[in-house]
Chain A
Amino acid sequence: MTTVPNAYLSSVLSGEAAAWPLGRFNAAGPLGWFHQLRADAFERASALTVPTVRDEDWRFTDLSPLYRLAFRPSRAGGMVSGATIASLSLPETTTRLVFVDGQFNAALSTPALTGNVIVAPLAGAVSDYAAIIRARLGQIAPIERDAFRAINTTYLNDGAFVFAGRNASHPSPIHVLNIATQAEAAIHNRMLVIAEAGAKLTVIEDYVALGDRVYCVNAVTEVDVADNAKVRLIKLQREGSQAFHLSASAARVQQAGQYRSNTISLGARISRETIGIELAGPGAGCELDGLTLINGRQLADTHSFIDHRAPHCTSRQLHKCVAGDTAHAVFNGRILVRQDAQQTNSAQESRNLLLSPRAHVDTKPQLEILADDVKCSHGATVGQLDEEEMFYLRSRGLPESQARNLLTYAFAAAIVDRIGIPTLVDRLHQAVMEQTRTKDSL
């Protein structure tokens, strides 16, 4: 494949030299492994080409608008007021890490170091907990074949580190708030979540923007779920309307571990969620719920891959897309059941609602099954609101537009309700209602 010259790639890779705040490369020092990880990633990123629509995985998501733009590494100094933080924080959470343009902001954060739970910036943690981190960082989301992950790892100097030791749990959800404030910034957020055997964690990965600027978030999240551990990841993507959001989240679930995720994508001009779940131990399970709610000229792409590697694992996935105006929603859900993964139980559903004549959706649920003793199903629908439900509401005196908004809202809100954190659910309900109310023309 020929290399396409592109402004994005050359701008992010040329900025690499400036992105070594930990000091120059030092393979012999105590952080030699960490430097090496980044150096390898840089080498990989330089060798890889960025995906185009010619790649099957990116067929429906044309990133050429991104490639035409040049970005610079995000700088420290983005201003976020206490009032803003207050409006974005949740009363249910007491532990919070705030990253402004990818830089940790200690003044706005409330880290935790209680008993067996650590919630801290990664920059310090790589020294303090080197043994724990070294075995996982960059291991769960491999960079070999993914240019964006390699770029993220090249720029890896800080991020969120969330750790729960054996049988530990944190009393409240952990809020990792990522705020974008600068124009033309390339922001590389990173998160590492580790739940040791029997531990329980809930993490809210939250992306918001101040002002409406062009910037690019390229985030990588790795989650390690040990035997019998339970991790829940709530991902909220509320980027600015001109932003690009590329995100990879990868989870590895060991024996009888449980991983749940709720992914809500509302913002960004072009967004991509790449979700990879590896059910590595017998009896592991995952539940993925996703909602994409877009309008205007937005494009939102969700690619998930559930890899059943061990027997007796279960997976359940429900993804809903609501697209208005000329928005374009993409869903690709791949489920692989390997030969040894007997007694697998897997169900996947993709539900899509088109609100305007020019909105469109591409969905591709994929099943690849190499074991015979399995129960797998998937379903996909594309449609409109139910005529009978509309009739019922109108017979109760609701005008057509209201009836339509109400049903659309209900379609989307069903996913939001599964988040289970009351304040957050309320706020998302508001957001969903606003997005589904605006359009009366149909």
Chain B
Amino acid sequence: MSSALQNLIDQPYKHGFHTDIASDVVAKGLSEAVIRTISAKKGEPEWLLAFRLEAYRHWLTMTEPAWPNVHYPKIDFQDISYYSAPKTKKKLASMNEVDPELLRTFEKLGVPMHEQKALAGVAVDVIFDSVSVTTTYKHKLAEVGVIFCSFSEAVKEHPDLVRKYLGTVVPTTDNFYAALNSAVFTDGSFCYIPKGVRCPMELSTYFRINTQESGQFERTLIIAEDSSHVSYLEGCTAPQFDTNQLHAAVVELVALDNAEIKYSTVQNWYAGDANGVGGIYNFVTKRGLCRGVNSKISWTQVETGSAITWKYPSCILQGDNSTGEFYSVALTNHKQQADTGTKMIHLGRNTRSRIVSKGISAGHSSNSYRGLVQVGPRAEGARNYSQCDSMLIGDRSAAHTFPYIRAQNSSAKIEHEATTSKIGEDQLFYFASRGIDAEQAVSMIINGFVKDVFTQLPMEFAVEASKLLGLKLEGSVG
């Protein structure tokens, strides 16, 4: 049993490689001058520079948060290069013009760019380091009025929309890393679904960190107008590095009346080796605002990578009858640390939220669920159900649960349940007595454990997520 588990646990990172593409990198360090350089390089309007500088000035007054249940060496923010862009001299007209090296990278990752059209229904806005190289399916989306482009493009072409919504969900002063991101973000995705439109396909972005020692500061903004619907997928893989990399992204979602946003993430960044050397620091602020009545925001995440994961995709349920959902699988192995969860802030009447969190910790890793369910004084009839289960593999791993529940309205109904367990000898015995060996049994048990979350993922992603979980824990998860 223990040797079988050990084998499962010791799967190396299979997406580790480094692509040699000449990068346009700004010298290390952070100052107003660097921010002005970034802004100038990107040809940004004055108001965006002002936004960045305001965030930077506030950031200077803030201190790094110490409350998460994670431990890492102090980050030297002056030792990070805040901008790197693949050298793209001109706008690319077709896929053929893309650097072949880059294309090979995607092939290794299993992102068959040239087969995108055949894959039907998935438009991929590829972020390679910090600048979008190419965007597909744009025309098809344009037919129904959906805007799906890189953030810098949106700043140029839809400045009014960006200006109207940027920073309205995650203000520049929100937290240390959000402020940092607001000051130095280089690119990201922008998505706008007009009134009454049901986005004809699932929108997908593959993030990829490539240049060594360049922090990634992505900014994503999704706006769903009245009665619209969008499903957005975000997936991550990263090359194997020796130096810790900081990733501080900000994702903002805005759902207006009757709109629905479904945001799915599969995260498999480099987690460091078995001794915890290297790996990505993933300090992300993700928040959705259900601004309209009957709106709905649903977060689904599968977190398998990063040395440290520190993120709380949250919903502010402002509109009456709005709904927030959070489905999460967080798997940690070796020396990984994860402190993740969600916040459901009920402000409107009859708002509902549902939290299903499954944590798996193996090796020497530490996995924490930290969540907040808050019902404001005016949130009549608010309802929440939370379920947080943890599974421990090996006696050196740790699982923690920190749910905060704040009820300020007597009509609130809140339920929270949490359990912690391990794969029991009796369970393995049961499988063995049916002729199923330990390795298969473990994979079946884990698959069963996370099923509630995986069923929430879009089809393409469910397959990928299952694969990633397999990579992390064993060789042959179906």
A residues adjacent to B (C-beta < 8 A): 56, 339, 342, 352, 354-384
Contacts and interface: CB of A to CB of B under 8 A. Distances in A.
A364 B404 contact: yes
B424 to A, nearest CB: 8
B104 interface: no
Nearest to B401: A367
Interface residues of B, number: 35
A121 B365 CA distance: 50
Contacts of A367: 390, 399-401, 418, 420
B158 interface: no
Contact of B390 (A357, A369, A382): A369
5 contacts: A56-B67, A339-B396, A366-B400, A371-B392, A374-B420
Interface in B418-442: 418-422
A381 B400 contact: no
A382 B414 contact: yes
Nearest to B400: A368
Contacts of B396: 339
Nearest to A383: B413
Contacts of B413: 381-384
A342 B383 CA distance: 36
Instruction: Give the one of B400, B407, B414, B421 with max A CB within 10 A.
Output: B407
A238 B270 CA distance: 57
Contacts of A373: 395, 422
A4 to B, nearest CB: 20
Contacts of A384: 410-411, 413
Nearest to B410: A354
B449 to A, nearest CB: 15
Contacts of B375: 382
A377 B399 CA distance: 12
A382 B412 contact: yes
A374 B422 contact: yes
Instruction: Give the one of A360, A369, A384 with max B CB within 10 A.
Output: A369
Given A356-B410, A381-B416, A383-B414, A372 B403 contact: no
A369 B369 CA distance: 12
Contacts of B410: 354-359, 384
Nearest to B396: A339
A368 B390 CA distance: 11
A270 B87 CA distance: 64
The 3 A-B residue pairs with the shortest CB-CB distance, nearest first, are A354-B410, A372-B392, A382-B414
A378 B394 contact: no
A381 B415 contact: yes
Contacts of B390: 367, 369
B398 interface: yes
B417 A377 contact: yes
Instruction: Give the one of A358, A366, A384 with max B CB within 10 A.
Output: A366
Contacts of B416: 365, 378-381
B405 A339 contact: no
Contact of A352 (B403, B407, B419): B407
A378 B415 CA distance: 11
B393 interface: yes
B341 to A, nearest CB: 12
A361 B417 contact: no
Given A354-B412, A372-B392, A380 B403 contact: yes
